[in-house]
Structure 1
Amino acid sequence: MDWALLIGSGVLEAVWATALGASHGLRRLRPTLLFLLTTVLSVWGLAVAMQTIPTGTAYAVWTATGASLTVVWAMARGTEPATLVRILLLLGIISCVVGLRVVS
């Protein structure tokens, strides 16, 4: 259950990062409100998951999930290039996180 909560919190990290970018410096109301809500929920989920998952592993999974999904979303929307090298590097991040899960 805590692993699912941790992954969900990582997804919310991608949402808040994207909303933060869309808020234009916290000057647009809707993206700013989405940023604030998802930030609180994301950090709360991380905190709960860290009760049973080691801190280093939980934080690495949380940040890697959020960062990877943020980049994938930007590639899908066409705001960042989807090159082979970038995709391979993202797969490397994901592989490392899966490795942390396997050995924890």
Structure 2
Amino acid sequence: MNWVILTIAGFFEVAFAFCLGKAKESTGNEMYLWYAGFFVALSLSMGLLIKATQTLPIGTAYAVWTGIGAVGTVLVGIFVFKEPTTFLRLFFLTTLILSLVGLKAVSN
């Protein structure tokens, strides 16, 4: 169950990065709403990470959490913010995903 909690925490990490990107593009009250979303997503992400690390090894949990956030944020950047998609970006993204799967596989 804590792997599910950790995965959800990683998705909230992607959400707070998305909110930062949208706040950068916005002005006025809309910008402040995106920053509010950032703080809500950040709080949920950290709270769920804390919950997950009560039974998962901290090193593995933190690596998986940041990995989910990194992969998700790159994908959001590509699909939402129209960042460039190059072979090397996709190659290293793939190696990151394989590393996360490997960490999960060797953890108790």
Please confirm whether the aligned pair reaches a TM-score higher than 0.5, indicating the same fold. yes
**TM-score of the two chains, using structure 1 as the length reference:** 0.92
Query: Could you tell me which amino acid in structure 1 is paired with residue 16 of structure 2?
Result: W
Scaled by the length of structure 2, the TM-score of the pair is 0.89
Which residue in 1 is equivalent to 2:14?
Answer: 14
Which structure 2 residue ranges, 5 or more long, are not aligned?
none
Query: 1:73 & 1:3 partners in 2: Cα distance?
Result: 22
- Equivalent residue letter for 2:77: A
Distance in 2 separating the partners of 1:49 and 1:39: 15
Query: Which of the pair has more CA radius of gyration?
Result: 2
The residue aligned with 2:47 is 44
User: What's the counterpart of residue 4 of structure 1?
Assistant: 4
Q: Matches of 1:35 and 1:5 in 2, distance apart? A: 19
Q: Please give the residue correspondences for 1:1-104 in structure 2 after superposition, counting only pairs within 5 Å.
A: 1-24=1-24, 28-104=31-107
Shift of 1:84: 1.7
1:56 to partner: Cα distance: 0.3
Query: Cα 1:41–1:50, aligned 2, differ >3 Å: closer, same or farther?
Result: same
CA RMSD of aligned residues (A): 1.5
Structure 1, unpaired ranges of 5+ = none
Alignment partners' CA distance in 1, 2:78 and 2:60: 27
| Equivalent residue pairs, number | 103
